[in-house]
Amino acid sequence: MSDALIEHYNAALDALQAGNAEAALQHVENALVEDARDSESWQLYILILNALGRTEDARNAEAKLAGLDLSASDRATMAAAAAMAAGDPATAAARYRDAIQADPGRVENHTGLALALLESGDPTAAMEAADEAIRRAPDDARAHYTRGRVLRLTGGDKSAALESLTRAVTLDPDLMFALYEQGMLLADAGRLEEALKNFETFLQANPGDPSATQAITQIRAAISQSR
């Protein structure tokens, strides 16, 4: 992916995670302007269209994607994304494994596998997949984010989770979901001023996000009580 494509794709993911599907749609459309053959952007586009109830447009997008002469890895990744969207992480994990077998070098399939395994209740395998992603791409922000998320959600070493998320944010300051999770761990560690900055930055990128708004309110109250 080009830098511009990555920026638009990440912004779409951030907006979708924040519950703003309309903004996510705009960002992913910008990604497709950058590269109309990027299969990951098409997959995300279809997911967003379905989330908006635009099923006919989603079917048309699926037809366009099918006509791109995708590789075996691309098709497996697409099937994995569809399974995750349908709430079937076990099937998603199987398809990510297919994608990895077809093209072991694509780090996004390793991170996708880790998150699917996490959702399907296999934290050990999820950690192994996240570690493999970092081994293959030590400077990939998403790989470090994935490792941090797996550690945080499975009750693992919080210091190690914070280290991974901090690395992710350092590598890509615009990776908003990593910034959000880093903020949660900073707050847990009592580093309230730092956590507040994280959530304020996240809220600027995702106006009206209820979770970030609530976190900011709670942190400000805790800061006031400690003075």
Instruction: Tell me: pLDDT of 1 over 70.
Output: no
Q: Is the separation of the CB atoms in 106 and 142 below 8 Å? A: no
Contact residues for 174 (Cβ-Cβ < 8 A; gap 6+): 7, 10, 11, 205
**Closest among 8, 14, 25 to 211, alpha carbons compared:** 14
Could you state, in order of their start, the residue ranges of all structural domains in the chain? 1-70, 72-172, 178-227
The model's pLDDT over 183-215, given as tens digits with 9 standing for 90+, comes to: 999 999 999 999 999 999 999 988 888 889 999
Handedness of CA 207, 204, 32, 170 (dihedral sign): negative
| CA atoms of 166 and 179, how far apart (whole Å) | 8
Query: What are the C-alpha distances in Å from 72 to residues 44, 102, 198?
Result: 18, 6, 39
Question: Element (H or E) spanning 62, and its range?
Answer: helix 55-66
Question: Could you check whether 1-70 and 72-172 share the same CATH topology?
Answer: yes
Q: Is pTM, for the whole model, over 0.85?
A: no
Report whether CATH 1.25.40.10 matches the domain 1-70.
yes
**3-state SS class at 36:** coil
The model's pLDDT over 49-103, given as tens digits with 9 standing for 90+, comes to: 888 888 898 889 888 887 887 788 888 887 887 788 778 999 999 999 999 999 9
Q: What angle do CA 68, 42, 173 make, to 5 degrees?
A: 130
Class of domain 72-172 as given by CATH: mainly alpha
**3-state SS class at 73:** helix
Long-range contacts formed by 30-34: CB under 8 A, 24+ apart: 31/5, 34/2, 34/4, 34/5, 34/8
